[in-house]
Amino acid sequence: MRVRKWAILAVIVAIVAAVPTVIGAFGGFERTGGGEVAVIRNGGLLDDNRVRQIIEPGSSVTWIGWWSQVHRYPAQQRYYTITSSGGGERSGVDVVTVPSSDGVNMGIEGTLYFNLNLDHETLKSFDDKFGTRKFRATGGGMYFPWDNDEGWSAFLDQIIRPVIDNDLRSQVNSFRCAELVSSCSLVQNTSARQAGLQQLGNNANIAKIQNAVNTSLSEDLKSTLGAEYLTNIHFNLSRVTLPKQVQDAVDQAQAAFAKVTEAQAKVAQARAEADANKARQDGYNKCPTCAEIEKLKALPQGITVYAPGNSGGVALPTR
């Protein structure tokens, strides 16, 4: 009887030991899709928690060890968008607000394009530094960078966005408002004609800012992150806007200029009509007969009696 109890106990122990073993064995195989790379960290009961291996994008089924952790990162080109249209990384209206050299807050919109460095040693270092901590998303949740799109966006928003903001602030601060948005001249004691001429230089100045940001951003990100974790960095500056109160003033100024232009056109038209009437009258004075001929031409058709000087001298045909 005692032997039987020991046998039953042995079977139970074997089953308890076998279940996690089987689970660990089946969970010890992984593969990656074409747009992702995986960093594998040891996770066994007796293992350390160091990086075990890197699985390249689009891999076949690969043995990763018992209970290992899989950290998946994007292997394709990624982007971070800043836009007021509500389609950027942050929900709702999102622009980088930085002051111009003359103190006007400018709204900057654009997109940062980049790739994650897929060098194995660099990836291991990246996962050690950033893949082992959580970042707060705009919605308030906490995520690891490898927690799907939410985690990756939270990492970019917490770590990458401040560097973008700082670079844009440094570059925009060297230009006056009117050098980036010509209509700013309308509320800065500059004539409409000068504003139109400045438009020619605005695009060149925006291109200068974009080029300067692209030159500095790579080094600034490398310095901030601690290594060249991001490559093929390019920032596309898509739009520069004015604060609402400034834009409202610009709209009012443009409306005022439009009214002035309309009034000037009416004055010019009246002057032209007066000149035409004077010239016509001078001609009639020199040729009275011509004046009478013009009167006759202006009469309605069908008149049978015309007596100039008589108030009842025009007789219309009867029906």
| Residues near 110 by beta carbon (within 8 Å), at least 6 away in sequence | 81, 82, 210, 235, 236, 237, 238, 239
Query: How close are the terminal C-alpha atoms of the chain, in Å?
Result: 139
Which residues are registered as beta bridge partners of 99? 105
**What local confidence, expressed as pLDDT, does residue 58 receive?**
93
* CA 274 to each of CA 43, 202, 255, 278, 281: distance values in angstroms, whole numbers, following the listed order: 95, 43, 29, 6, 10
pLDDT digits over 16-44, tens only? 454 454 444 446 899 999 999 999 999 87
Rounded Cα gap, residues 46 and 8, in angstroms = 28
Tens of pLDDT along 163-193? 999 999 999 988 988 888 877 766 555 554 4
Q: Lowest-pLDDT range, 45-59, 143-157, 206-220, 238-252?
A: 238-252
- The pLDDT value recorded for residue 25 is 47
Residue 2: pLDDT band (50, 70, 90) is: low
Average pLDDT, the chain: 78
Question: In terms of Cα–Cα distance, which of 153, 172, 183, 159 is closest to 108?
Answer: 172
What burial class does residue 161 get, using C-beta atoms within 10 Å of its C-beta: 0-12 exposed, 13-18 middle, 19+ buried? middle
Please report, for the chain, how many H helices and E strands are present, in that order: 8, 13
- Taking the C-alpha atoms of residue 78 and residue 23, their distance in angstroms, rounded to an integer, is 35
Contact indicator for 180, 205 with CB cutoff of 8 Å: yes
* pLDDT of residue 222 exceeding 50: yes
More confident residue, 99 or 56: 56
Query: Using an 8 Å Cβ cutoff, are 228 and 118 in contact?
Result: no
282-310 per-residue burial string, b: 16 or more CB within 10 A, e: under 16: eeeeeeeeeeeeeeeeeeeeeeeeeeeee
Residue with tokens 């290594």: 227
- Residues of the chain with pLDDT > 90, as a percent, come to 42
CB distance 173 to 101 below 8 Å:
yes
pLDDT, tens digit (0-9, with 9 covering 90-100), for 231-256: 999 999 988 887 665 555 555 555 55
The answer to whether 40 and 68 have CB atoms below 8 angstroms apart is yes
C-alpha distances in Å from residue 104, one per residue of 110, 127, 178, 185, 254? 19, 41, 10, 12, 19
Between 84 and 147, residue with greater pLDDT: 147
Buried b (16+ CB within 10 A) or exposed e, 59-81: beeeebbbebbebbbbbeebebb
- Does the pTM exceed 0.85? no
> Which of these, 23, 21, 25, lies nearest to 13 by C-alpha position?
21
Host H or E run for residue 100: none
- Residue pLDDT, tens place only, 258-309: 455 455 565 666 676 666 667 676 666 777 776 666 666 666 666 655 566 5
What pLDDT does 19 receive? 44
Is the Cβ–Cβ distance between 198 and 81 less than 8 Å? Answer: no
- pLDDT > 70: what percent of the chain? 61
